[in-house]
Amino acid sequence: MSTKLSVIIPVHNGEKYLSQCLDSIVNQSIGIENIEVIVVNDNSTDNSLKIINEYRNDCPNFKVITNESQLGAGESRNKAIGEVHSDYLTFIDCDDFISSNAYKDSLSKINESGADLLIFNWETYTGTDYVEPINIHQVNTLENKLINSIDENPKLIFSTPSWNKIYHKSLFKYLKFSNGLYDDNLAVVSSLINASKIFLSKDATYFYRKNLMSTTENITPQHATDLSESIKELYSLNDENVGLLNVKFINDVLFWIYYYDWSIIDEIAVISKLKECAYKISAKDLDYFKRLFPDYEVFYRKDCLDLNNFDSETFLAKYKYFNRLNKINSTASLYIDKGNGFNEDSKISVDYIPQKNNKLSFDLTKFSNIVSIRFDPLEGSFIKSKINNIAVTDANCDNSINDDYQIFLNLDPNYIFSADLNGELIIDFDLEFINDDELASLFVEKNAIIAEKNNIINEINHKDKKGRFNFFK
């Protein structure tokens, strides 16, 4: 069998969107007879294999590899690469799809340019009217362009997905996918830094499906651990471009630690793992990143440099629990309860810069039958606050709603308002960050580090907490 391109598709329980994915390949303008399709059934327990076999019966260019146990997408791709017979290779995930001209147009550009790596654009597909913001890894282009290396376009190092690229066989040896949740990073970055010519194409599109309700959107300590391991692997490449990418990844892990409500045991474990690889981060890398992305929102320069100056427990205490500088975007949110409780579907958010006094406006005209309203003035910092112009019926504060200020020793402070509000709602509120001395005093008085209802120290009893942080002495 002589084909122009091989397509590798790892599949684990992908029955919902698998047919759309396979149809987008079968219907390519280059002709399915010119495509070798290698599907790896990663021990699926749904109808995925049945769907795969239906396509294989109709098309002799389909080859199926079956894993007896679930190996993950990375190892599944590694197995399939050994079965490739074409000079060019690409990947697609089983819930995604591609434009009908993607392969014909891309191979034509490769033949004309002599490129050994081609990168085409990708769009996030949600199946709704919601438009996902462009992210730093979505390095799309508005023009067709040939470059000799990523040194001509340093931001390409952030193009870490494996699936919006076509690789020449000279790059196959670099396509060694890792285990874990970030299996693409090492293989793709290795290919990027070793490619002799890279063609950036605007004329083909990969549609990356994002399920807004997917559990993959819920970051866990495992995500942070796996990304830390990926950072370590990338540094092993000994390429200066890798430092730029790892600045972003290290900031990602720090953001997750600051933002999410994990147990202290998990937080310390993640920081310890991050310290194993982040020791190579330099002020030069951090400053270079900031020059390329001056408006990037998640950037912790001092925190990154201090990772190596403190043990994990001290770093956590200093930068998450005792440093009251707001670690995340300053966003106030309003949740409207229309009888079904508070949820993301009825949320209005406003970005702002917190001041001692703040006035924020929210449009309620599209809401009817309002039962109650929840107002979150800020997330990610311990604060004291008070509402000046609206009656408060409840708050998850650690004192009384009748006090002059409400004190919040949790990272998700909120107020509940009565339902007799409509039209344009203006909330006038005062806000102050609780300073270190106040915080230490409040924690000792209440005999707790974080309010139990927010589970910041879930599954850690008070005796453990005292033993972990020396500032109680």
Looking at the chain, the whole-number percentage of residues with pLDDT higher than 70 is: 88
Find the helix or strand (DSSP H, E) in which 375 lies: strand 372-376
Over residues 89-100, the mean pLDDT reads 97
- Identify each DSSP E strand in 294-343 by its residue range: 331-337
| Whole-number pLDDT of residue 81 | 97
| Whole-number pLDDT of residue 444 | 57
Angle at 17 between CA 57 and CA 121, to 5 degrees: 105
pLDDT at 326 over 80: no
Domain that holds residue 370: 324-473
Coil, strand, or helix at residue 78? helix
Question: Domain check: are 313 and 329 in the same one?
Answer: no
Separation between Cα atoms, residue 64 and residue 37, nearest integer Å:
8
Q: What phi, psi does 346 have (nearest 5°)?
A: -115, 40
Query: What is the token pair recorded at 102?
Result: 């993607």
Angle at 415 between CA 356 and CA 387, to 5 degrees: 35
Task: Say which residues have a Cβ less than 8 Å from residue 146's Cβ, sequence separation at least 6.
Answer: 113, 115, 197, 198, 199, 200
Question: Domain check: are 314 and 392 in the same one?
Answer: no
Contact (Cβ atoms closer than 8 angstroms) between residue 395 and residue 401 = yes
Last residue of a domain, one of 186, 214, 242: 214
Confidence of residue 44 (pLDDT cuts 50, 70, 90): very high
**Least confident residue range of 101-110, 249-258, 312-321, 328-337:** 328-337
Bigger pLDDT: 324 or 240? 240
| Whole-number pLDDT of residue 351 | 83
Q: What phi, psi does 30 have (nearest 5°)?
A: -70, -20
pLDDT at 215 over 80: no
Question: Domain check: are 76 and 55 in the same one?
Answer: yes
Domain count, the chain: 3
76, β-bridge pairs: none
Compute the CA torsion angle 338, 340, 341, 345 (nearest 10 deg).
-80
Last residue of a domain, one of 321, 337, 364: 321
Which of 76-90, 122-136, 305-319 has the highest average model confidence (pLDDT)?
Answer: 76-90
Which of 95-109, 199-213, 292-306 has the highest average model confidence (pLDDT)?
Answer: 95-109
Over residues 330-354, the mean pLDDT reads 85
Over residues 229-256, the mean pLDDT reads 94
Question: Domain check: are 91 and 201 in the same one?
Answer: yes
**Least confident residue range of 63-72, 110-119, 404-413:** 404-413
| Whole-number pLDDT of residue 219 | 87
Query: What is the token pair recorded at 238?
Result: 């000994």
Which residue from 198, 201, 200, 171 is spatially nearest to 187, judged by alpha carbons? 171
Distance of CA 371 to the CA centre of its chain: 34
Taken in order 446, 382, 460, 274, the sign of the CA dihedral is negative
Question: Domain check: are 147 and 81 in the same one?
Answer: yes
Within 10 angstroms of residue 45's Cβ, the number of other Cβ atoms is 10
Question: Domain check: are 290 and 264 in the same one?
Answer: yes
Ordered strands of the 331-337 beta sheet: 347-351, 331-337, 372-376, 415-417, 392-395
Question: Domain check: are 106 and 181 in the same one?
Answer: yes
Last residue of a domain, one of 293, 321, 349: 321
Which CATH number do you get for residue 9? 3.90.550.10
Query: Which residue's entry shows tokens 């991050």?
Result: 274
Contact (Cβ atoms closer than 8 angstroms) between residue 280 and residue 247 = no
Give the pLDDT confidence of 156-212 residue by residue, as tens digits: 999 999 999 999 999 999 999 999 999 999 999 999 999 999 999 999 999 999 865
Question: Domain check: are 27 and 142 in the same one?
Answer: yes
Separation between Cα atoms, residue 323 and residue 314, nearest integer Å:
12
Question: Domain check: are 383 and 439 in the same one?
Answer: yes
Give the pLDDT confidence of 422-456 residue by residue, as tens digits: 788 999 999 988 766 676 676 556 544 444 544 54
Write down the mean pLDDT value for the chain: 87
